[in-house]
Amino acid sequence: MKIIKPIMAGAFIALATAAIAHTGVKDPNVKARMDGMSAIGQAVKTIGTMMKGETAFDGAAVDAALAEIENRAARIPERFEENVITPKSEARPTIWESTDDFNEKALTLETLAATRQGTVSGPDDLRPLMGEIGATCKSCHSEYRD
């Protein structure tokens, strides 16, 4: 119990934070895709804080973050299958007019995250990696997110 308790507390805090960020989002589709994006954001943050030297370099943690991004990115197409936009959503209607392009951008992120696992051997590799990741987020957000 001594080990499990802090882990559960941590998981609870993470859940609570997500719930606060998405207060008022009732549509399950919108909530699920926002939660998926938030998880991607958290994984990127893990790599970003390491890049800034705020946390110690940890290659295994980078690979775990990349695996998380890969898995979450793989689910973007199904998460955005339903054409639904609510007031809290930042999704643009063009997603459902250009589904192929949207899904291709998701695949670009998934592939990048997959192929970079195991390639980061030191802190100097983090900046270029973050640059590549950031560009894929931006290429989709700039067209499909308000």
Q: Which residues bind ligand HEC (CB under 6 A)?
A: 21-22, 30, 33-34, 37-38, 40-41, 44, 69, 76, 89-91, 102, 105-106, 109, 133, 136-137, 140-141, 144-145
- Give me the least distance between CB of 133 and ligand HEC, in Å please: 5
Rounded Cα distance between 68 and 137, Å, is 15
Nearer to ligand HEC, 8 or 41 (CB): 41
- Give me the least distance between CB of 145 and ligand HEC, in Å please: 4
- Give me the least distance between CB of 12 and ligand HEC, in Å please: 19
Rounded Cα distance between 63 and 48, Å, is 13
Q: Which helix (H) or strand (E) holds 58?
A: none
- Tell me if 39 sits within 8 A of 75, measured CB to CB: no
Rounded Cα distance between 51 and 130, Å, is 8
Nearer to ligand HEC, 104 or 124 (CB): 104
DSSP 29: H
